[in-house]
Amino acid sequence: MAKTGDQDRVKRQFTRLLMQWNEGQNRRQMPWKGEKDPYRIWLSEIILQQTRVEQGLSYYQRFITNYPTIHHLAGAGDQQVFKDWEGLGYYSRCRNLLATARFISQNLNGEFPKTYAEVLALKGIGPYTAAAIASFAFNLPHAVVDGNVFRVLSRVFGISVSTSSGEGKKYFTRLANEVLDKKNPGLYNQAIMDFGATICKPLAAGCNECALSEICFAHKNNMVASFPVKDKKAPIRKRHFHYLIIEHRGKIAIRQREDKDIWRHLYEFVLVEDGNEKSVKAVVETAAKNGIIDKKDWALVSESPLFKQQLTHQMISAKFIRLKVARKPENGFQWISKEDIKQYPFPRLINNFLESCESELK
């Protein structure tokens, strides 16, 4: 870590050099840059927490087209909004998005709060998003602290405190606010995020074209790859999903996930989960034992290869088993036609399967 005296000197130069780079060299274009509408800023920031700018652009355009104001989003049905969110993951954020939209629409007459504390108090909005909204929309002096900011500050100042620790988050937040351009907080926040995304990148850092290289601790000490420091990742939980696509007279059984687990409020086929991959026979036996289907009343149509999806701390492996049954099971599932499948929001894993057999099930 850089010495205290060195850090004080660097702080005095950091903001000036960064803002000079932003004015003269920053060419990063995004449709929401310079946006002052807190609703649109909020949408863009929530979407960008889920994906990269390139992928997030289409979602952002879809949301502002389908829901041009917060009243439109608040008045939309859950299923339609989840369908528009489909593929972004972390559906709890989509639920929070709806809850906050409805709160602002119904309780605040559609007007976003105008202070950092009030914005932070909204459901699903953390310190980063609150700082972004406060600075971009209302020019309030609150620094954003995200992965790009962690990376830039840790390298320039030589900070060896873990970014994933409570101590580290407090340290970086304090430093970010110390070097924030108080007169132009929104412009500064966008500048440091752009700098991290285009110059001070995770792997291929552009040190040769870096406006901060002369004051950068990591560059001067050949330690760019050593920052930021992170704690060891939590072990990945492996799960095996066996989906039964049960068909009866042209209709298929689905259900909405309601448990406090991944993909809550999304739809899925009949699920048999196990710690290991199971044979078709074993899956059907389990389903029959649980009263889902009749043990003898089924015919195998097809069995898919494995489909996989990596979540933050989970690896999901799934196999899809199509069955036809002569008698409709009375198991509480919802029965829909193949043509209606597109109307329901499914997890990306299931959509990947559906796309692979579109001629059969769509």
- Kindly report, residue by residue over 131-146, the tens digit of the pLDDT: 999 999 999 999 999 9
Judge whether 139 and 131 are in contact, CB under 8 Å: no
Going by pLDDT thresholds of 50, 70 and 90, the confidence category of residue 51 is: confident
Going by pLDDT thresholds of 50, 70 and 90, the confidence category of residue 324 is: very high
Go through the domains of the chain in sequence order and give each one's CATH number: 4-226 (1.10.340.30), 237-361 (3.90.79.10)
Q: Is the pLDDT of residue 90 over 80?
A: no
Could you give the CA distance from residue 298 to residue 296 in angstroms, rounded to a whole number? Answer: 6
Q: Is the pLDDT of residue 360 over 80?
A: no
Q: What is the CA radius of gyration of the chain?
A: 25
Going by pLDDT thresholds of 50, 70 and 90, the confidence category of residue 275 is: confident
User: Of 231, 239, 267, 233, which Cα lies nearest the Cα of 342?
Assistant: 267
Report the catalytic residues.
45
Look at residue 3 in the predicted model and tell me its pLDDT: 58
Look at residue 189 in the predicted model and tell me its pLDDT: 97
**Cα three-residue angle 329-280-241, rounded to 5 degrees:** 80
